[in-house]
């Protein structure tokens, strides 16, 4: 086994190696890989958590199939802490289906991009299913939630199980500081998409974590400061057909940064 991907093989470490953070992979990073290959990729970079995308846990499956797929991750030593990003329409049946999907798989957090008008329905669903939602911000192209703050304003009067997935790259592209957003919204941050971007501009490519313009040490410090217990998922969007080398580099850089922190 050679290259960066091989460096981490067999070195699946506990949370203490990550300063208590639950660092894993958003499987969107591995979207071109079949489920078993995605599981092996997560193992090869030494991580123990994931956020499952529907490319690996399809929505159009039975309850038994969903449980079986989640079990494949668990049996490999990988705990699914969230699923998504899941689109939600205004149809209450569509929203209920998303919650049932997560419940069947035993997943406690749904990363999603709902319609702003559905907050009352979502409030009912999180109470009924006791599953959190984490609204994902998508940068300046997202007219609903360019930064975490737009979602925060919508959810703050509802049940605390309505929360945020802070995508640090899209947050910066939307004109907000990711570390500051994590601190300001700390009471409702339930998921993190960790990535890097080439420049602090609205339109900029993504890159390996540590090669770009984001203050990754500052973001990690903010997460440790708020004692974040949710999923910190690498969302490596570059190199879709060969993501493992860049993902491994991102993992190694981040682990190194955390190792130097007091």
Confidence of residue 13 (pLDDT cuts 50, 70, 90): low
Q: For residue 14, is pLDDT > 70?
A: no
Q: For residue 148, is pLDDT > 90?
A: yes
Q: What integer pLDDT is reported at residue 5 of this predicted model?
A: 42
Cα gap 196→209, rounded to integer Å: 5
Domain region containing 205: 19-256
Q: What integer pLDDT is reported at residue 12 of this predicted model?
A: 56
The residue-averaged pLDDT of 65-72 equals 98
In a domain, residue 240? The reply is yes
In a domain, residue 6? The reply is no
In a domain, residue 5? The reply is no
Q: What integer pLDDT is reported at residue 244 of this predicted model?
A: 97
Confidence of residue 94 (pLDDT cuts 50, 70, 90): very high
Chain centroid to CA 130: 19
The residue-averaged pLDDT of 45-60 equals 97
pTM (2 d.p.): 0.94
In a domain, residue 163? The reply is yes
Q: For residue 97, is pLDDT > 50?
A: yes
CATH number of the domain to which 245 belongs: 3.20.20.150
Q: What integer pLDDT is reported at residue 262 of this predicted model?
A: 78
The residue-averaged pLDDT of 87-93 equals 94
Number of domains, the chain = 1
In a domain, residue 4? The reply is no
Q: For residue 83, is pLDDT > 60?
A: yes
Mean pLDDT of the chain: 94
The pLDDT tens digits for 162-193 are: 999 999 999 999 999 999 999 999 999 999 99
Q: What integer pLDDT is reported at residue 10 of this predicted model?
A: 46
Which percentage of the chain shows pLDDT scores above 90? 93
In a domain, residue 3? The reply is no
Helix 119-129 with 92-105: angle, nearest 10 deg: 30
In a domain, residue 169? The reply is yes
195, 209 Cβ separation under 8 angstroms: yes
Residue matched to tokens 């390996």 = 208
């Amino acid at each position: 086994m050679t290259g960066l991907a091989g460096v981490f093989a067999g070195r699946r470490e506990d949370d203490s190696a990550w300063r208590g953070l639950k660092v894993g992979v958003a499987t969107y990073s591995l979207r071109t890989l079949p489920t078993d290959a995605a599981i092996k990729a997560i193992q090869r970079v030494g991580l123990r958590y994931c956020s499952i995308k529907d490319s690996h846990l399809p929505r159009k499956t039975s309850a038994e199939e969903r449980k079986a797929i989640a079990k494949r991750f668990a049996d490999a030593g990988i705990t699914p802490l969230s699923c998504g990003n899941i689109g939600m329409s205004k149809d209450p049946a569509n929203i209920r289906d998303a919650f049932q999907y997560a419940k069947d798989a035993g997943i406690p957090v749904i990363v999603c991009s709902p319609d702003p008008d559905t907050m009352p329905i979502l409030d009912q669903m999180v109470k009924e299913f006791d599953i959190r939602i984490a609204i994902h911000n998508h940068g300046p192209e997202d007219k609903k939630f360019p930064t975490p703050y737009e979602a925060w304003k919508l959810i703050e009067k509802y049940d605390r199980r309505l929360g945020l997935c802070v995508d640090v790259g899209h947050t910066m592209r939307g004109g907000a500081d990711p570390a500051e957003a994590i601190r300001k919204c700390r009471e409702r941050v339930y998921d993190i998409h960790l990535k890097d971007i080439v420049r602090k501009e609205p339109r900029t490519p993504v890159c390996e974590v540590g090669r770009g313009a984001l203050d990754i040490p500052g973001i990690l410090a903010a997460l440790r400061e708020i004692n974040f217990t949710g999923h910190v998922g690498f969302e490596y969007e570059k190199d879709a057909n060969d993501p493992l080398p860049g993902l491994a580099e991102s993992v190694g850089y981040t682990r190194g940064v955390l190792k130097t922190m007091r």
